[in-house]
Structure 1
Amino acid sequence: MSTRTGTRSPAPNVADSHDLIRVHGARENNLRDVSVELPKRRLTVFTGVSGSGKSSLVFSTIAAESRRMINETYSAFLQGFMPTQARPDVDVLEGLTTAIIVDQERMGANPRSTVGTATDANALLRILFSRVGRPHIGSPQAFSFNVASISGAGAVTFETGGRTVKERRDFSITGGMCPRCEGTGRVTDFDLRELYDDSKSLREGPFAIPGWGPEGWYGRIYIGSGFFDPDKPIRDFTRRQLDDLLHKEPTKIKAEGVNVTYEGVIPKLKRSMLAKDREAMQPHVRRFVDRVVTFTVCPECDGTRLSEAARSSTIRGISIADACAMQITDLAAWVRDLDEPSVAPLLGTLGETLYSFVEIGLGYLSLDRPAGTLSGGEAQRTKMIRHLGSALTDVTYVFDEPTIGLHPHDIQRMNDLLLRLRDKGNTVLVVEHKPETIAIADHVVDLGPWAGAEGGTVCYEGPFDGLRGSGTLTGRHLDDRARLKDDVRAATGALEIRRASQNNLQDVDVDVPTGVLTVVTGVAGSGKTSLVHGNLARREGVVVDQAAIKGSRRSNPATYTGLLDPIRKAFAKANGVKPALFSANSEGACPACNGAGVVYTELGVMETVATTCEECEGRRYQSAVLEHTLGGHNIAEVLAMSVDQAGGFFGSGEARTPAAHKILGRLADVGLGYLTLGQPLTTLSGGERQRLKLATHMGEKGGAYILDEPTTGLHLADVEQLLGLLDRLVDAGTSVIVIEHHQAVMAHADWIIDLGPGAGHDGGRIVFEGTPADLVADRSTRTGEHLASYVGA
């Protein structure tokens, strides 16, 4: 057991109880009766290895209870429309203030959401153009690509003079939406050759669409629609029949004696598939969509999403589409130079909003950038913008690794912003691994000593200076510095990139060496992702990016990695039964809880209560299933094993299962040996989810691995293990290309490609190619300066 060291906050008296957030007996997830006292209006940083309990304490306990208590202040009627939240498992929570969570969650892939709509910038621009733009075309909604222009007539009912009057009135709404692409900026087309085989009839199953076979419901609707001869090959259809098959509007028909709605293939696909987030699709559906659907820039609005009328109104020759396409640094300068006294307050507010983008290191973005394309770090910093100018004080701001995606050059700027929020009289709670940010803390809480069941305790609580000598894992690694390698590997070849011009890249030519560890660096917005993902990811190897893992509370490491399949087969073979019995989502599920392990009870406007299922006692399986064993353990006991324990179990003896053992080995390789096989994905930290994805991709065949900031969520002590994993991949003959800001990874590289010199249109060029030692000796770039300082050169 680790003991708590350092300076402990004194027990509060009546006078100082209002200056502390007191947490006593927190037990969320792996927390083991954690008690801390956090000073208000100060900056507290929470440290510890991934899975040590940081997020469980900060987000799942403190922030969650603050939000739950705020929701309870609303009327019962309003609470009925709000998501219900259970009270965290904690004995005492005192001194809470309103919590504002600024996390790394992506902004989603809604095609209508942009950087401008996600902040107040677009709304302010629309007002500006509606007042000052010439020709004047209407109200702010006339400049909105989310509002269509419609006109018509309708009945209006109202009371006057004690009687009810019904009148027919004309109405007209002028919106800025491009009618061709409906405000998305893109039009879709289908490759009909990939959609169906025209040599087959409907009864023979011509569609390549998942789930559209002739025995399926969709196939039967087309066969029984009466619009076609189901035994005639599609190539023999008349033009009218082919149009009905592909484009017919929804029409009521009777098929197989049932009243149904018939719809052409293409409008049905657009509604059922293309309206969904691509990342939320099942893998086989996503592959189908990628193969069949092509997206092109709308020819009518040229991708601006706006109608011709909206684009015709200008201010000093600039339309709102032009303004949204500008780099924000340029747009801020344009707004600053506008001399329009009639809208001076509006210009002041818009200018402050745009300056906030620049101040937070996002000046290289444009307002028309789709929100779904932002990285986790960019999304988090975008969410910060609305809080920087807020007049609220005594608020608790909660940040989840705000330095993610930041070059060392930019971390100081982020630190300054955190201190500004604190100095306005707010409490700032930060989960962080970077020593540069830990160092600015007024108070540090270090959790551990390890992860999962071996974590969840406070190892140190006190000032930063005491952490270094505390003897904790974080304290011991605080001053870690990777050194430059004495010898670097020689390239076996090269992946050529020629005239790359995606986003801000300026006709870049570069050879990415193969057979070595290549690190691509540069400040945020310099063009790293555009270079690697825009050129190599489409044609080379396996990509492990920061996209979120999709999964429900039933998903766990065993289901996500495919580990459960060989485990189920091994159980089935040993017991002479079907594999489906060993799935809690299939035939083996406990009937009382449907395999969830818990029973959820809705209590109207009150919070939903989750209780352990009494029938299966949380094990998720029918009792009869648990009588079947493998190596002396039933399926529930196996899923309760850690990765390390299961590795030994499936590696030898009666339970030996090579396919399972291989997957478990990959999980251990990425540092997830402490996770239990059945742990819900919803309880994993961001770092754990990232490494779980890496472990899954390690099983794929590819000449190159392309990793996007693999140190995300990694503790200082874990970075060394990651470097060892990257070495093993390269030594096994794989080319590894890493986009990374962490200096330890840069120092360990065989080759560095540095982009810059700045961000946006100030970047997009190769400013250095060579070994880390040459970069340090050269010191001609920002990366070189920071790496030289890091290695002590």
Structure 2
Amino acid sequence: MSTSTDARADGQARAPHIADSHEMIRVHGARVNNLQGVDIEIPKRRLTVFTGVSGSGKSSLVFDTIAAESQRLINETYSAFLQGFMPSPARPEVDVLDGLTTVISVDQQRMGADPRSTVGTVTDANAMLRILFSRLGKPHAGPPGAFAFNVPSVSAAGAITVGNGKKEKVTFHKVGGMCPGCEGRGTVSDLDPAQLYDDTKSVNEGAFTIPGYTGGGWNSRLYAESGFFDPDKPIREFTERELRDLLHREPTRMKIAGINMTYEGLVPRIRKSMLAKDKEAMQSHVRAFVERAVTFTPCPECDGTRLAAHARSATIGEVSIADACRMEIRDLADWVRNVQEPSVSPLLTALRQTLDSFVEIGLGYLSLDRPAGTLSGGEAQRVKMIRHLGSSLTDVTYVFDEPTAGLHPHDIRRMNELLLRLRDKGNTVLVVEHKPEVIEIADHVVDLGPGAGTGGGTVCFEGPVDALRGSDTVTGRHLDDRAALKGAVREPDGVLEIRGAQANNLRDVDVDLPLGVLTVITGVAGSGKSSLVHGSIPEELGVVSVDQSPIRGSRRSNPATYTGLLDPIRKAFAKANGVKPALFSANSEGACPTCNGAGVIYTDLAMMAGVASTCEDCEGRRFDAAVLEYHLGGRDIAEVLAMPVAEALAFFAEREARTPAAHKILERLADVGLGYLTLGQPLTTLSGGERQRLKLATHMADKGGVYVLDEPTTGLHLADVEQLLGLLDRLVDSGKSVIVIEHHQAVMAHADWIVDLGPGAGHDGGRVVFEGTPADLIAARSTVTGEHLAAYVGE
């Protein structure tokens, strides 16, 4: 394909127009989120990298426009009945979108927190192991289902007709591999009765501390009027029988206020109503109760393997399927290579290929029994890649969201090779990325911007990497940025002693982390960095941890509600207008009555995909019209929530709207680089990097003395890394001790002290291989990190 370019109206270069849909994906007039009528043609069967500052519109173009429309069109090929069971996004706001192929999105969304979902189950490695053990395991334990921890063993009575025409009763057995003690979860839960009630109170005095069991509702009435105990007697005075009836009584039918109801002890009732649900899907107050009242321990019956006894007893050689799933995957791959049995040769070949893919992609340190919900965003994305590396499909569009997230510089080269391999099989590969190492291998680059939010959403550049360097775009100017070592490092004002750390793969680690300075923890993925920091620092030190776990909240949640900013804003509006603060909440009295403050009306079309449409009464502003009559500094509440952080910062500094409490929160949001976010933007629309920085902003006012940040450069553009370094400096200079787990060489170079773990991952890691200043690490060149940092700073 020619790399010649023609002039654009905005003075930037662009690729030639090729109308043939066999060669190009053509997008015209894209207006999703902040995209401002984007027109672009993306070459097929090439590797295209999308760059731009955070919030410039990269994900809106790649995921919310191209990938979303491909999925919608595929769903429309199914019957209306089947479509009712599929997610079906609305058509993106775009005038023309053609040349699409099937899109496979490989994003950083964490995998479901289902307790039975493991690395093995989500990649089919477990399925192949089950077949292998059902064929070769001794003693023979049955079909593959006998080794599946999500298949229970059941017995059922029935009848069969025998030769004389008579029917005989028989019992049918289905043998599954689920441990009956933990039902395949690997852990058992125990309720702490002390968390269920205040034993100094009676039931009628509101003793229950369980969500939904207070305030005289049916749940509390059921127990108060059961007759099994005196509802006016404090629970601490209950007899042994009364306490057993309260906590453990079996289901008993009774009438309460003339209504037939079933009474059951609190413990089994709570187990059924709360513990059987996905904790992450619970309302925040219910989840807080469960986390407080429930303890989880490895199942004593199966030793945490999830498997029934018969599944654990069958072995190949001396290895059971439980042993195999507990091995590090690279060790399991070696074990499978030593299994020689011609009758299952095709199965062994497929299993070896899958396991080798884990090793190749840098995940050989994982085990197949690792719960999927515990993987980081970067690990989850790479596990999803496993499914596609051996695929025979071609002419597919693969879409990646920062595939280098969580990767040490040493591992980025391997990731690049995988991306190129997918391209060379005849696929189109679209990558949203900030790392220069990935941008360098692109056939084509699309740079969005020039800014973020309303200041972005346009294509600033299209073309090859060399032309990007010469362009006057933010990405082009910063592509070759390199942070230099500091002239002088800070002196610590104390040390945090960690002794005998053994969490996960740590090998009895002793290390002193300096206090009052910027300490960076480095090492390849799986070397033990998070285990050392998150698993070894005592909570009593006042640790403020900002990790990469998702933000919990509904689609009504936004930066204003999450940070507590909405409270001073509501009070300021109330004071200025002489009314109640609740009027200025779209979740309370001020909500539009038509859409209940959601801003949209959702229409359920049963078997067809539901439709969300903007509320016609409030026009998406979420508030009752009467509420919008009240103003602060000439703006109504909906207009304030539509402001970007940077604009709101100036607004709340003006005399008519001066609100010091709001101003402080807005300053913190601006400090972490979120000045472009609007106050009312739904949290569900934020990228992973934006969510992490939002969490950092909320914690900046905490009084903790030790700040722990987990890869804060995730999602940051090259131009924003310098701002992050300044923020880290301000935290340290304000008297905080800052510990950062990080792979980015710019952060390493800026550190006062580095602790490098390794030398490898899994059982090859877990040791401190270097402690000292960045300059000493470069001079020693004794570790992989040292080699890459030396190359980065040009020494």
What range is the shorter-chain TM-score in? Answer: over 0.9
Alignment partner of 1:625 out of 606, 627, 645: 627
AA of the residue aligned to 1:234: I
Deviations 1:655-699 (A, max 9, x none): 222221111111111111111111122222222222111111223
For the residue of structure 2 that corresponds to 1:242, the secondary structure is helix
Alignment partner of 1:44 out of 42, 45, 48: 48
Alignment partner of 1:644 out of 637, 643, 646: 646
Q: Which residue of 2 aligns with 1:105?
A: 109
Q: Which residue of 1 aligns with 2:341?
A: 340
For the residue of structure 1 that corresponds to 2:95, the secondary structure is strand
Q: Which residue of 1 aligns with 2:245?
A: 244
Asked if residue 729 in structure 1 is aligned to residue 731 in structure 2, the reply is yes
2:27/2:98 contact within 8 Å kept: yes
Q: Which residue of 2 aligns with 1:74?
A: 78
**By how many angstroms is 1:496 displaced?**
1.6
Asked if residue 352 in structure 1 is aligned to residue 358 in structure 2, the reply is no
1:7/1:463 contact within 8 Å kept: no
**By how many angstroms is 1:450 displaced?**
0.4
Q: Which residue of 1 aligns with 2:14?
A: 8
Aligned length: 784
Alignment partner of 2:697 out of 689, 695, 698: 695
**By how many angstroms is 1:611 displaced?**
3.0
- Decide whether aligned partners of structure 1 residues 62 and 214 sit closer, same or farther in structure 2, where only a CA change above 3 A counts: closer
Q: Which residue of 1 aligns with 2:65?
A: 61
- Decide whether aligned partners of structure 1 residues 275 and 516 sit closer, same or farther in structure 2, where only a CA change above 3 A counts: farther
Q: Which residue of 1 aligns with 2:505?
A: 504
2:81/2:608 contact within 8 Å kept: no
- Residue range with higher mean Cα deviation, 40-49 or 688-697: 688-697
AA of the residue aligned to 1:764: G
**By how many angstroms is 1:560 displaced?**
1.4
| CA–CA separation in structure 1 for the residues paired with 2:97 and 2:167 | 57
- Residue range with higher mean Cα deviation, 24-33 or 239-248: 239-248
1:415/1:437 contact within 8 Å kept: yes
Alignment partner of 1:18 out of 8, 17, 22: 22
- Decide whether aligned partners of structure 1 residues 445 and 5 sit closer, same or farther in structure 2, where only a CA change above 3 A counts: farther
1:6/1:463 contact within 8 Å kept: no
AA of the residue aligned to 1:52: S
Alignment partner of 1:587 out of 570, 576, 589: 589
AA of the residue aligned to 1:775: L
| CA–CA separation in structure 2 for the residues paired with 1:354 and 1:270 | 38
AA of the residue aligned to 1:429: L
**By how many angstroms is 1:244 displaced?**
2.1
1:6/1:466 contact within 8 Å kept: no
Q: Which residue of 1 aligns with 2:5?
A: none
- Decide whether aligned partners of structure 1 residues 564 and 716 sit closer, same or farther in structure 2, where only a CA change above 3 A counts: same
For the residue of structure 2 that corresponds to 1:55, the secondary structure is helix
**By how many angstroms is 1:217 displaced?**
3.6
For the residue of structure 2 that corresponds to 1:62, the secondary structure is helix
**By how many angstroms is 1:290 displaced?**
3.3
**By how many angstroms is 1:288 displaced?**
3.4
For the residue of structure 2 that corresponds to 1:202, the secondary structure is coil
Q: Which residue of 2 aligns with 1:479?
A: 480
AA of the residue aligned to 2:91: R
Please list, as runs of the form range in 1=range in 2, the aligned pairs for 1:128-527 lying within 5 A after superposition: 128-154=132-158, 169-213=170-214, 215-527=216-528
**By how many angstroms is 1:205 displaced?**
2.5
For the residue of structure 2 that corresponds to 1:10, the secondary structure is coil
1:627/1:634 contact within 8 Å kept: yes
**By how many angstroms is 1:342 displaced?**
1.2
Q: Which residue of 1 aligns with 2:560?
A: 558
AA of the residue aligned to 2:81: F
| CA–CA separation in structure 2 for the residues paired with 1:217 and 1:701 | 42
AA of the residue aligned to 2:64: S
TM-score computed with the length of structure 1 as normaliser: 0.96
AA of the residue aligned to 1:347: L
Q: Percent sequence identity over matched residues? A: 76
- Decide whether aligned partners of structure 1 residues 412 and 537 sit closer, same or farther in structure 2, where only a CA change above 3 A counts: farther
| CA–CA separation in structure 2 for the residues paired with 1:279 and 1:83 | 20
**By how many angstroms is 1:12 displaced?**
2.1
**By how many angstroms is 1:29 displaced?**
0.4
Please list, as runs of the form range in 1=range in 2, the aligned pairs for 1:781-792 lying within 5 A after superposition: 781-792=783-794
2:45/2:429 contact within 8 Å kept: yes
1:667/1:673 contact within 8 Å kept: yes
Asked if residue 123 in structure 1 is aligned to residue 127 in structure 2, the reply is yes
Deviations 1:556-603 (A, max 9, x none): 111111111111122122222221111111111111222122223345
Asked if residue 87 in structure 1 is aligned to residue 91 in structure 2, the reply is yes
TM-score computed with the length of structure 2 as normaliser: 0.95
Asked if residue 755 in structure 1 is aligned to residue 744 in structure 2, the reply is no
**By how many angstroms is 1:711 displaced?**
0.5
- Residue range with higher mean Cα deviation, 600-609 or 83-92: 600-609
For the residue of structure 2 that corresponds to 1:153, the secondary structure is strand
**By how many angstroms is 1:156 displaced?**
9.4
1:102/1:397 contact within 8 Å kept: yes
AA of the residue aligned to 1:545: D
**By how many angstroms is 1:341 displaced?**
1.1
For the residue of structure 1 that corresponds to 2:14, the secondary structure is coil
Q: Which runs of 5+ in 1 are unaligned?
A: none
AA of the residue aligned to 2:16: P
| CA–CA separation in structure 1 for the residues paired with 2:253 and 2:397 | 55
- Residue range with higher mean Cα deviation, 758-767 or 262-271: 262-271
| CA–CA separation in structure 2 for the residues paired with 1:692 and 1:194 | 32
1:203/1:214 contact within 8 Å kept: no
**What is the RMSD computed on CA atoms of the aligned residues?**
2.0
AA of the residue aligned to 2:101: T
AA of the residue aligned to 1:440: I
- Decide whether aligned partners of structure 1 residues 788 and 366 sit closer, same or farther in structure 2, where only a CA change above 3 A counts: same
Q: Which runs of 5+ in 2 are unaligned?
A: 1-7
**By how many angstroms is 1:455 displaced?**
0.1
Q: Which residue of 1 aligns with 2:743?
A: 741
**By how many angstroms is 1:426 displaced?**
0.3
2:486/2:750 contact within 8 Å kept: yes
1:23/1:34 contact within 8 Å kept: yes
| CA–CA separation in structure 2 for the residues paired with 1:366 and 1:691 | 31
| CA–CA separation in structure 1 for the residues paired with 2:557 and 2:160 | 51
For the residue of structure 1 that corresponds to 2:155, the secondary structure is strand
Q: Which residue of 1 aligns with 2:667?
A: 665
Alignment partner of 1:718 out of 703, 720, 742: 720
- Residue range with higher mean Cα deviation, 215-224 or 60-69: 215-224
1:301/1:307 contact within 8 Å kept: yes
1:5/1:470 contact within 8 Å kept: no
Deviations 1:259-289 (A, max 9, x none): 3332322223223333344444455444433
AA of the residue aligned to 2:759: P
AA of the residue aligned to 1:543: S
- Decide whether aligned partners of structure 1 residues 150 and 607 sit closer, same or farther in structure 2, where only a CA change above 3 A counts: closer
- Residue range with higher mean Cα deviation, 754-763 or 560-569: 560-569
Please list, as runs of the form range in 1=range in 2, the aligned pairs for 1:671-686 lying within 5 A after superposition: 671-686=673-688
- Decide whether aligned partners of structure 1 residues 174 and 386 sit closer, same or farther in structure 2, where only a CA change above 3 A counts: same
| CA–CA separation in structure 2 for the residues paired with 1:429 and 1:513 | 42
Deviations 1:521-542 (A, max 9, x none): 1000001111111112744411
Deviations 1:422-475 (A, max 9, x none): 000000000000000000000000000000000000000001110011010000
| CA–CA separation in structure 1 for the residues paired with 2:471 and 2:264 | 68
| CA–CA separation in structure 2 for the residues paired with 1:435 and 1:112 | 38
**By how many angstroms is 1:294 displaced?**
1.8
AA of the residue aligned to 1:694: L
- Decide whether aligned partners of structure 1 residues 490 and 216 sit closer, same or farther in structure 2, where only a CA change above 3 A counts: farther
2:403/2:433 contact within 8 Å kept: yes
For the residue of structure 2 that corresponds to 1:18, the secondary structure is coil
